[in-house]
Chains A and B, each alone.
Chain A
Amino acid sequence: QVQLVESGGGVVQPGGSLRLSCAASGFTFKNYAMHWFRQTPGKGLEWVAFIRFDGTNKFYADSVKGRFTISRDDSQNTLFLQMDSLSLEDTAVFYCARAAGTFSYGAGWFDSWGHGTLVTVSS
């Protein structure tokens, strides 16, 4: 069955960096667009970043643009999120999700999600 497992979260000081990973299994990873989302304490879901199935196009939320970088390694069936210049406001549970439908940009909804990894930015 489809499985997405995030890792790499932890505690980091303001201004620091973290790299999140999302290990995919149970489907042909290279055929799917992927996204990162986050949920801040007491708040709802926020879209963070997108990568096309072939990695040729990427989009970011304004709140992370220039600080976060999404990438993928299809040989490892893994999605990444490099997070730099972290601030207190980046404290959240980060989720990876698979866009429904194959190729191109995928459909705009998400049929598989991971359980999330917690990122805490604190001095």
Chain B
Amino acid sequence: EIVMTQSPATLSVSPGQRVTLSCRASQSVYSNLAWYQHKPGQAPRLLIHGASTRAAGVPARFSGSGSGTEFTLTISSLLSEDFGVYYCQQYNVWPPLTFGEGTRLDIK
């Protein structure tokens, strides 16, 4: 099983700031990585797949980078609506599909 590790666990950032979230895989997943945003009581939302391809309708302030074992999700200029928990997920080797434990992003 591929273990995904995210950092930091929590983050509190002011609107307008740049945010960088990290995700590490226990072995190479090449570019087979997705990012999701999850707000309480809502459905998870796909942000990025293929490590760097924005999903349909996702604002350009969200970008993904990395390959192999190290990945980054960047929000270029944070909006108040961007609060929530962000998860990375690998799909290079499954079953099982595996997620990181999430980074909780709070707006200051």
Contact = CB atoms under 8 A, between A and B. Distances in A.
A107 B91 contact: yes
A50 B38 CA distance: 21
A88 interface: no
A85 B17 CA distance: 48
A62 B94 CA distance: 12
Interface stretch (B18-26, B40-48, B65-73, B75-83): B40-48
Interface residues of A, number: 25
B96 A115 contact: no
A51 to B, nearest CB: 12
A115 B43 contact: yes
Q: Is the interface of B mostly helix, strand, loop or mixed?
A: loop
A45 B99 contact: yes
A60 B97 CA distance: 10
Interface of B: 32, 34, 36, 38, 41-46, 49, 55-56, 85, 87, 89, 91-92, 94-102
- The 8 lowest CB-CB distance pairs between A and B, nearest first, are A108-B91, A109-B34, A113-B43, A47-B97, A109-B49, A59-B95, A45-B99, A44-B102
Given A61-B96, A113-B43, A115-B42, 9 more contacts: A45-B89, A47-B95, A47-B97, A59-B96, A95-B43, A109-B91, A110-B36, A110-B46, A111-B46
